[in-house]
Structure 1
Amino acid sequence: MTQPSWSTETTQRIAQAIRTHRGARSAQWLSDMTEKVGYRVARSRISDLETGRRNRIDVTELIVIAAALNVAPVLLIYPDIPAGSVEVLPGLEGTSWGALKWFEGVYASPLHSREDSADFELENNRNQHLADLRTEEDLFGAWSEEVLEFDRTVNEYNRQKEDPSFTSNPVLERLVDQASKALRDTRTQLEDHRKRMLERGHQPLGREGLEDTYGFLDTPEEEEKWR
């Protein structure tokens, strides 16, 4: 496909995805929603895009329209994720899934397979770093949930202890122990995972982005252990 044709078809694909996600709601509704996001895209520009009178879309428009539709921008660019095929670049056919991975930074380039790439080692290292960050986020999520469960269980136990008639509650005491063990186990997993990341030369999530509940991470004592 020629460059102009590829550009036009890409824009038409995005326009069709916008129409699909907009559904029965009007172009004016979508324009009003983009204003709520903070950057109005005029109704006429949306209509011209959807009817084909416009064959270009600004990146800023794509971002705010996606936000207004409550959909990831990449799903407007590659609406057939995961199985659909797409012309990623002029003359270069690929899968929507592969195009998504390129957008995510998992692949350095869509122009070649990873195995044929001279930068394969670099790409593989980047993939591992991304996987490490996802695992770290999952562990942070698990830790946060377990902190809440531990606090809830302990608070309930303390509330019952305030009752003058309270003697013991073996079931609740066991739940407190279980919640405490879950916290310790997840903390150990999180600390060990971040240590392995540093050993591989992968930077964990920044300390400034961590909540107070993660204050045990990246202390001078911990950093000294990793040096």
Structure 2
Amino acid sequence: MALSANEWAAQIAKQVGQGVAYYRTQSRDARGGKLTAQALADRCAGLGLPLDRTVIAKLEKGTRQTITIGELLVLARALEIPPVLLLFPLGRTDTTEVLPGEDTDTWAALKWFTGEDDQFPGAVTGTDEKQDAEPVRLFREHERLIKQWWDNRGKLMSLIAPKDPELKKFRAEADPDAVDDLWVQVAKDTMRNAEEALMAIRSEMRDRGLTPPRLGLESAYIEPETFESTTLDELAQTVSRNKRISLSEAIREVYRIAGEPLPESQKDDTEGEKE
């Protein structure tokens, strides 16, 4: 049976209220005691949205008819949980009413809400009935690639340290330098692959009208044009430091990515290396 707008709003408020009651009983105050409704109200006020204790009590009992998005966000922050857990009772009920009169798997509903899945809740797997969750996917993939880049940068730094002459005598390998050089090259190649994938995904984001996340200075050379206040030569110094390559090699890489011609002095160095 279809619900009226007011009935559906009340149903959502009831569901959120049940979540507030559940997570409040799981929470503790600053002294380690049970988090009371008054303590929760105080936390909400501290976050900039005063909510009376009686309002929270009505919400938990299911007698409050509405809940605003602002209240949902503040309550979730006060309870130190993701807001989505107040909307969908994950781990508390197998199914949830995701749309008026439409029950579906709670986990599937949550993934629909967060864009983790492009399937609509209750849709038959393999059908064309899908949502456009591509922006979420792109940002998640961008985050994964950035982490991969930093992980391999860390590996590269750790591989450099054992090459110190004082540390080399503790190495068991017959040829420590050869072993190190192999793993250093692997780390560099992985970083380069991540950089190329990042450039591709950032381009795809822009094609969809999205603004990619800002790159930190350490990885700015991946997209030099986004750092107008930093010169290419300064970025090259960062590359040289990060990848443990010569400054000359780093300059060539940065200028290539930026699509800029090499400085005359660098061209001379390149010619010298070829000879």
Same fold (TM over 0.5): yes
SS at the partner of 2:222? Answer: coil
Q: Hey, what does 2:97 align to over in structure 1? A: 87
Is the contact made by 1:83 and 1:97 (CA closer than 8 Å) also made in structure 2?
no
Distance 1:131 1:100 in 2: 15
Q: Which runs of 5+ in 1 are unaligned?
A: none
Distance 2:106 2:89 in 1: 8
Distance 2:86 2:67 in 1: 12
Q: Which AA in structure 1 matches 2:143?
A: E
Q: Structure 2 vs 1, CA of residues 152 and 19 (structure 1 numbering), >3 Å: closer, same or farther?
A: same
Distance 2:93 2:185 in 1: 44
Q: Hey, what does 1:15 align to over in structure 2? A: 17
1:50 is matched with which residue: 49, 60, 77?
A: 60
Q: Aligned runs of 1:23-172 on 2, under 5 Å?
A: 23=25, 24-80=34-90, 84-105=94-115, 107=118, 115=127, 117=129, 123=131, 126-154=132-160, 156-157=161-162, 161=165, 169=171
Q: CA deviation at 1:128?
A: 4.5
Q: Which AA in structure 2 matches 1:222?
A: I
Q: Structure 2 vs 1, CA of residues 166 and 179 (structure 1 numbering), >3 Å: closer, same or farther?
A: closer
Distance 1:144 1:203 in 2: 27
Q: Hey, what does 2:212 align to over in structure 1? A: 206
Q: Structure 2 vs 1, CA of residues 38 and 151 (structure 1 numbering), >3 Å: closer, same or farther?
A: farther
* Structure-1-length-normalised TM-score: 0.72
Residues 5-27 of structure 1: per-residue CA shift (max 9 Å, x gap) = 33322211111111111114201
Which structure's relative contact order is higher, taking Cα pairs within 8 Å and 6+ residues apart?
Answer: 1
Q: Hey, what does 2:187 align to over in structure 1? A: 182
Is the contact made by 1:87 and 1:93 (CA closer than 8 Å) also made in structure 2?
yes
Q: Which runs of 5+ in 2 are unaligned?
A: 26-33, 226-255, 260-275
Q: Which AA in structure 2 matches 1:206?
A: P
Q: CA deviation at 1:110?
A: 6.3
Q: Structure 2 vs 1, CA of residues 93 and 63 (structure 1 numbering), >3 Å: closer, same or farther?
A: same
Q: Which AA in structure 2 matches 1:115?
A: T
Q: Percent identity between the aligned chains?
A: 23
Q: CA deviation at 1:104?
A: 2.6
Q: Structure 2 vs 1, CA of residues 96 and 219 (structure 1 numbering), >3 Å: closer, same or farther?
A: same
* Structure-2-length-normalised TM-score: 0.61
Q: Hey, what does 2:257 align to over in structure 1? A: 222
Q: CA deviation at 1:184?
A: 3.0
Distance 2:50 2:180 in 1: 52
SS at the partner of 1:33? Answer: helix
Q: Structure 2 vs 1, CA of residues 128 and 197 (structure 1 numbering), >3 Å: closer, same or farther?
A: farther
Is the contact made by 1:197 and 1:203 (CA closer than 8 Å) also made in structure 2?
no
